[in-house]
Amino acid sequence: MAGTSPANTDRVIEKEQGLVMPHPLDSFFAPASIALIGASRDHEKIPGRLLSMLRKNEYPGKIYPVNPNYTDIDGLACYKSIADIGAPIDLAVIIIPARAVLPALEQCAAAGVKNAVIISSGFAEEGGDSAAMQDAIAALARRTGMRISGPNAEGFFSQVPRVAATFSPAVDVKPGVVPLVATTRRIGIVAQSGGIGFAYYHRARALGVAVSYVVSAGNESDLGAGEFLDYLVQDSSTDVILLFIEGIRDVDKFLAAAERAAEVKKPVIVTKVGRSGAGRRAAASHTASMAGWSAAYDAVFARYGFIVSNDLDEALTIAALLASNPLPKGERVAVVTVSGGAGIWGADAVALQGLQVPELSEPIQAVIRQLMPSYGTARNPIDVTAQGVTSGGLQKSVDVLTASDEVDGILVVLSLSSEVRKPFKEEELTPVLLTQHKPVVFYSYTVPSDFARRELAKSGAVVLTGLAHVGVAMRHLVDYASFKLPFPADAARLSARDLSPHLKSPVLSEADSKSLLRTAGIALPDEVLVRDKGELDEAVARVGFPLAMKIQSPEIAHKSEVGGVRVDITTKGEAFLAFEALLDNARKHRPDAIIQGVLVGPMAKRGIEIIVGTMTDETFGPMVMVGLGGITTELFRDVVYRPAPVGVQEASAMLAGLKAAPLLKGFRGAAKADVMALSQLIADISLLAARHANEITEIELNPVLVHSEGQGLTIVDALVVGRR
């Protein structure tokens, strides 16, 4: 196809047939021409390695070295400047001193260069004037429309179109070495650390997992992780995506790409680093103070079905399983082994992840027993013994289990250290894996030989060596198979109201918070704020016994800590004594606090204590939280976060994710709680937080007493924090 860029052939054909819309980054990842600004003859240095890697990987497009100190480099004409080339340039790769980068970019823009990768360092990562230079690069990108990756990037690698625009040794080509390739499906890698991104690639290649793209985002002056994710989501040559991120800058683009990945069911595995930082929150509520450094990221990942992994080898194991297997239809696993002890270990590994290892039915066992010696076992785990390798019992057992509807996945546990012996015949295993309807996972408890890896790779099998990682990966496949993008929130549930009259001070007392919530349309008990003792009689008569009484001050968020709560009051005498005691305690513990009075309300009937709240994350905005409530909220920290707003369905899923979820379902004979009413409250509060994100930073309802099914709930306490 003359005149086209060296892109993935299938993708090019699809585009020509109108099946795939062009993407703005097509010319970035599959450029027809590349200019190397700062090119060098020295292959031991980064500028020289950039040219070397392009040529070793047989980049088919035009390469234009640019360096005023040379007339030619490695047989290629070298140009003094980008303007001297006089031909269209899709991509400029820049590796020159930081101070020279901006002028070079200006020249690129003037020459019509579409894209640039800045390898050079010395920008925002250094701060001061260097950060200002990066700001100028961002401004140039906005002004000219040129797309820029970096600075401080390690470049990228496009496997199919053979674009090695990087100096990473991971993409080096060794003469005579045939790559190990076990999968036809490919993984795409986006990393905010170039070293880690290419480490993923290096390890994937060692496993035989095919790769589509590896891209290092660098400092993200223009192009960020969100846009790169968007590209891989729509890319037909990418089947699984691996992300390594520290933080997201292009939030809207990232969220849009995440939603598209969920819609098209393209798996995204993410590692988020920087989780150990001690986040500083001036938080008035438990909701915000309990939010971990990365709570909002995890909430976003959960919303869109991302698979979270905090270990490099584990992430690659998950990717390998997704690239080499269909998704399971359930969580029943058969373990097939040639070693009894190893088989038990394999069964433990998947069982520890909550997967089932069911005993097989007698008819299935009878068939499998015929394939092994008398000292084997067919129950599950299935030990065909070492003899099963030579007799064909191992292969035939896998055949039987693949066809059986009693299990949803198969874990094959065996030794693959031999340099000469094949555990499977290619002509027998290949048809099974090509037509498989369930995952077949291969784990070697000995160090697998290169021979064994390559023999199994011929049939499309990836050999794994971390049993704990295998168990985790199989669990993730089951969970991902059942994931569905939640329905959006119902914006019509709450009508828009003007809340500004309630937000005259940043932190509201309980009484003021509840007044705001009532205005917003949230149902609360009828309560009376008593400012002096003379109003108490009327309040008691209005509310009725038994009573609860609480001190009110915008400066006392947690009233129980200052003796500011009295409950189960049944007489007027108790009410008057409680009124005085509450005021005395407040003055004693917080003498400078502004006291509004005492809130008098009805005692709520018994229920399960839950906390519902919202907080504002600096990156993703409003988050909604639900957890086990009451005074032990911070002790147990049993909480689940999601980006606000959520619909009732997603709120129910949040509740199901709590460790305390059994309490809501009727634990040990207790009545089931009104989960529907609680789910609706979570959805309403999340909608309120999202709608008023510019006015409200935190909301906390704690405790919310959830009564028996059909009996609703009672919001006992509330706190609203406005923007300061």
Query: Is residue 244 situated within a structural domain?
Result: yes
Assess whether 667 and 583 both reside in one domain: no
Instruction: Supply the pLDDT for residue 283.
Output: 45
Query: Domain for residue 511, yes or no?
Result: no
Residue 495 is assigned to a structural domain of this protein: no
* Same domain (yes/no): 299, 346: no
User: How many beta carbons lie within 10 A of that of residue 374, not counting itself?
Assistant: 6
Same domain, 181 and 258: yes
Domain count for the chain: 4
DSSP state letters, 100-140: HHHHHHHHHHHTT--EEEE----STTT-HHHHHHHHHHHHH
Q: Quote the domain boundaries for residue 204.
A: 23-315
Q: What pLDDT band is residue 653 in, cutting at 50, 70 and 90?
A: very high
Tell me what pLDDT residue 14 has: 53
In the prediction, which pLDDT does 639 show? 94
Q: Say yes or no: 428 and 573 in one domain.
A: no
Query: Mind listing the pLDDT tens digit for each residue in 577-623?
Result: 999 999 999 999 999 999 999 999 999 999 999 999 999 999 999 99
On whether both 286 and 360 belong to a single domain, the answer is: no
Q: Are residues 55 and 166 in the same domain?
A: yes
CA–CA distance, 485 with 699 (Å, rounded to integer): 26
Per cent of the chain over pLDDT 90 is 85
Q: Residue 360 is part of a domain; what is its CATH number?
A: 3.40.50.261
Q: pLDDT value at position 281? A: 44
Q: What is the pLDDT of residue 249?
A: 93
Residues 543 and 579 occupy one common structural domain: yes
**pLDDT above 50 for 12:** no
How confident is the model over 231-249, as a mean pLDDT? 96
The Cα–Cα gap between 678 and 675 comes to 5
**Inside any domain, residue 158:** yes
Q: Does residue 597 sit in the same domain as residue 612? A: no
Residue 280 has pLDDT above 50, yes or no: no
CA-based angle 196:352:652, to the nearest 5?
A: 85
The CATH number of residue 672's host domain is 3.30.470.20
| Residues 71, 30 share a domain | yes
The reply to whether 311 and 366 lie within a common domain is: no
Q: Which of 315, 341, 367 represents a domain boundary (last residue)?
A: 315
In a domain, 641, yes or no: yes
- Which pLDDT band holds residue 669 (cuts at 50, 70, 90)? confident
Q: Which three-class secondary structure string do you get for 135-196? A: HHHHHHHHHHCCEEECCCCCCEEECCCCEEECCCHHHCCCCCCCCCCCCCCEEEEEECCHHH
User: Does 201 fall in a domain?
Assistant: yes
Do 57 and 118 share a structural domain?
Answer: yes
- Residue finishing a domain among 424, 453, 482: 482
Rounded to two decimals, what is the model's pTM? 0.91
SS3 content of the chain, % helix, strand, coil (to 5): 40, 20, 40
pLDDT digits (tens, 9 = 90+) for 66-110: 999 999 999 999 999 999 999 999 999 999 999 999 999 999 999
End position of a domain, from candidates 288, 315, 342: 315
Per the prediction, the chain carries an average pLDDT of 92
Statement: residue 362 has pLDDT above 50: yes
> For residue 512, is it within any domain?
no
pLDDT one-digit tens code per residue, 402-447: 999 999 999 999 999 999 998 899 999 999 898 878 999 999 999 9
In terms of pLDDT, which residue wins out, 289 or 119?
119
Predicted pLDDT at 292: 57
Where residue 591 sits, what CATH number does that domain have?
A: 3.30.1490.20
Give me the CATH number covering residue 143. 3.40.50.720
- What CA–CA distance (Å, rounded) separates 454 from 45? 34
Encode 226-242 in three state secondary structure. HHHHHHHHHCCCCCEEE
Residue 275 lies in a domain: yes
Claim to verify: residue 117 and residue 157 sit in the same structural domain: yes
